[in-house]
A = this chain, B = another copy of it.
Amino acid sequence: MCQNCLVKTIHHASHHFGWDNANKPVVKVTPGSTLNLECLDSSNGHIHAASTALDINSLPFDKINPVTGPIYVDGAMPGDALKITIDAFDPSGFGWTANIPGFGLLADQFKDPALTLWHYDKTTLAPCAFGRYGRVPLKPFAGTIGVALAEPGLHSIVPPRRTGGNLDIRDLSAGCTLWLPVEVEGALFSIGDTHAAQGDGEVCGTAIESAMNVTVTLDVVKNMPLPSPRFSTPGPVTNHLDSCGYDVFTGVGPDLMIAARDALSHCIDALCREHGMQAEEAYMLCSVCGDLRISEIVDMPNWVVSFYFPKVVFN
């Protein structure tokens, strides 16, 4: 019997909260192994279907973003790449989006906790109602996907790094292939922070945070040094969002961060004015479906960052 054909399940109890190459592997696998990894949501279960915004204040920041793993892959050595084929997601059907004070692109403007709960059809993944306003298309992915760093010690799970981690790249969905630079023997792969939907930027700081199981296949590519994560998508990446086009808001100026903030702020203002939303509702909606794109970065001294809001939400 081919060992590689067995799909191992890694229980979500096998998780950790930071990158540390001294973390003991929960399993050792051969290259080509397919694994089914149970992933907790980024609140580690703290936010649930009966939660209110008050629960944001008691988020256990030492226990956020649990990742399932680490997985030791036989033969993976520094200088190799870990090739991760993202096979499938099995979502839970429940998710949440929050404004967490101190966190997010407009943290200086949104200082109070806010919470949106989502109940979606985990089988059809049909667009999910956002209050009375519209429906948000879903596309599950893992926000955090990475391998251990060469540097010893515990490294926070929050920032993404050259070895991946909390990348929050919404196009790392089923069918994609991701390559990560291996820095320690066995690679020590972990995954978690699963999202049912997110726009480029994850502007309010959270997506549709949702526990789900993820199936991946792990391979080793020998002697493929990488400076940072690289991935390949099998087809279009915005089909779920783009059918009705976009309303687009721009930020123009010499600082990309300020331009991004301006573009987003203009969109939030328009959603409040034209759809009657509260500002924090618009902010959270933008985070789960709107995209930040750099329209131009060369016309000195002013750059253009655009925020693309998908009109399908209201159709």
Contact = CB atoms under 8 A, between A and B. Distances in A.
Contacts of A105: 297-298
Contact of A237 (B168, B242, B294, B297): B242
Interface in A197-233: 200-205, 227-233
Given A104-B298, A170-B295, A298-B203, A247 B260 contact: no
A201 B297 contact: yes
Contact of A159 (B160, B239, B299): B299
Contacts of A230: 247-250, 266, 270
B249 A242 contact: no
Contacts of A306: 169
A82 to B, nearest CB: 15
A200 B295 contact: yes
A239 B237 CA distance: 10
Interface stretch (A11-19, A118-126, A251-259): A251-259
The SS class assigned to the A binding surface is loop
Interface string A136-169: 0000000000000000000000111110001111
Max chain B Cβ within 10 angstroms of own Cβ: one of A167, A204, A296: A296
Contacts of A201: 294-298
A147 B242 CA distance: 29
B245 A237 contact: yes
A266 B227 contact: yes
A169 B250 CA distance: 10
A256 B245 CA distance: 27
A130 interface: no
A262 B168 contact: no
A172 to B, nearest CB: 9
Contacts of A299: 158-160, 166, 168, 202
Given A205-B298, A260-B294, A304 B171 contact: no
A102 to B, nearest CB: 9
Contact of A232 (B227, B248, B300, B302): B248
A234 interface: yes
Contact of A160 (B104, B248, B304): B304
A60 interface: no
Contacts of A104: 298
Interface of A: 103-105, 158-162, 166-171, 200-205, 227-239, 242-252, 256-257, 260, 262-263, 266, 270, 291-302, 304-306, 308, 311
21 contacts: A105-B297, A159-B302, A160-B299, A160-B304, A167-B296, A167-B304, A168-B295, A168-B304, A227-B262, A228-B266, A230-B266, A230-B270, A231-B248, A232-B248, A233-B246, A233-B248, A235-B242, A235-B245, A238-B238, A260-B294, A293-B293
Given A232-B311, A236-B245, 5 more contacts: A169-B295, A229-B250, A233-B248, A237-B308, A256-B257
